[in-house]
Amino acid sequence: MDIPNMLKVILPAVVSFTVGIGVTPVISHYLYKYKAWKKKGGKIALDGTQAVEFNKLHKEKETGTPRMGGLVFITSSLITIMGIFLISIVLPGENIQKLNFLSRNQTLIPIMTLFVGAVVGFIDDFLQIRNADGLSLKRRLLFVTLLSLFIGWWFYTKLDINTINIPFGSELYIGWGTIPLFVTVALALYASGIIDGIDGLSGGVFGIIFFSYAIIALNHGQIDIAALCAMLVGGILAFLWFNIPPARFYMTETGSMALTLTLATIAFMTDSLGGGIGLSLLPIIGFLLVATVATTIMQVLSKKFLHKKIFKVAPLHHHFEAIGWPAYKVVMRYWILGTIFAFTGIIISLIG
């Protein structure tokens, strides 16, 4: 790979991290100044009852620590994207122009999902800190569904995505099934956003996942997507710098909705469109997200039909806390497992 392309991928990560570190004191100042946290701690389970075990572990932490921490990497992403774009226009030289990774055919859609998701997530967080219930789960799911329907339709009608690449195999034709499949993947990933439950956990897991997709996109020549993923890694690391215990703020919906919707888009765009197997690799690279959703569903179904709980608390990372693991041990072991699953997915992408 020539130097400009390599620089094109690495530079956004460095810039995003640097900007993120730089803007965090300002963001943090205003989050604390305006007391941007829930005024009443505690959580209600999906079945409508009090989440007793969870509240024992985290009720005290939910007040006094700001929400909206996702603003760190959202702000750094916006500044990085627009900064590099403007520099590529103003300064002469072919190599300078190549640094711009804002492109219609690769990154326009995932960048749109990133910022649209952030805006809706911000509205939910804002309502919660104003002592309201935030956007209801039904409204958030409706938003994700409608946005996903539009993107799925765009993939199918405008980009002609109608197949999925199978590892070590051939293409699987799904035709218009691209649309409902994308909706399903987006909803599942959005549900996995509840992994934002322990200091440092979500930042580490999402950072590893987007780093993996940067390598996958780079391997298949999707340089702009690789640069976008690298930029997100840089911004997430800046967030993580301040989110490790004791967290200065939490990611919450502002960040998790943006990242999960963007991840769904990138997984599809690194599949048949780019000659890769990005979608098939998602359950492997994002296995911890799968486990988060799966254990929550298992818990709800078990309580409903068997009238007993499988886990002390769902999702799984809170179960480990409830049985006595220190929070830092859960987080670091998730980081380790996330790295192993990421390496596994990257290896399969290289040989599959």
Q: For 170-200, give the DSSP string.
A: -EEE-GGGHHHHHHHHHHHHHHGGGGTTSTT
SS3 labels along 288-329:
HHHHHHHHHHHHHHHHHHHCCCCCCCCCHHHHHHHCCCCHHH
CB 328 within 8 A of CB 198: no
- Judged against a pLDDT cut of 50, whether residue 1 lies above it is answered with no
- Cα end-to-end span (Å), the chain: 21
pLDDT interval class at 47 (50, 70, 90): low
Domain range for 10 is 3-351
CB 67 within 8 A of CB 254: yes
Q: pLDDT per residue over 181-238, tens digit each?
A: 999 999 999 999 999 989 999 999 999 999 999 999 999 999 999 999 999 999 999 9
- pLDDT on residue 93: 80
Q: Which residues of 176-199 are buried (b: 16+ CB within 10 A; e: fewer)?
A: eebbebbbebbbbbbbbbbbbbbb
pTM for the predicted model, two decimal places: 0.95
Query: How many domains, the chain?
Result: 1
- pLDDT on residue 91: 87
Which helix (H) or strand (E) segment holds residue 164: the answer is strand 163-165
pLDDT interval class at 131 (50, 70, 90): confident
- Judged against a pLDDT cut of 90, whether residue 62 lies above it is answered with no
If you average pLDDT over residues 132-160, what whole number do you get? 94
Question: What residues contact 185, with CB distance under 8 A and at least 6 apart?
Answer: 264, 267, 268, 279, 282
At 162, phi and psi to the nearest 5? -135, 10
Indicate the SS3 state at residue 263.
helix
Two structure tokens written together for 164: 């999925």
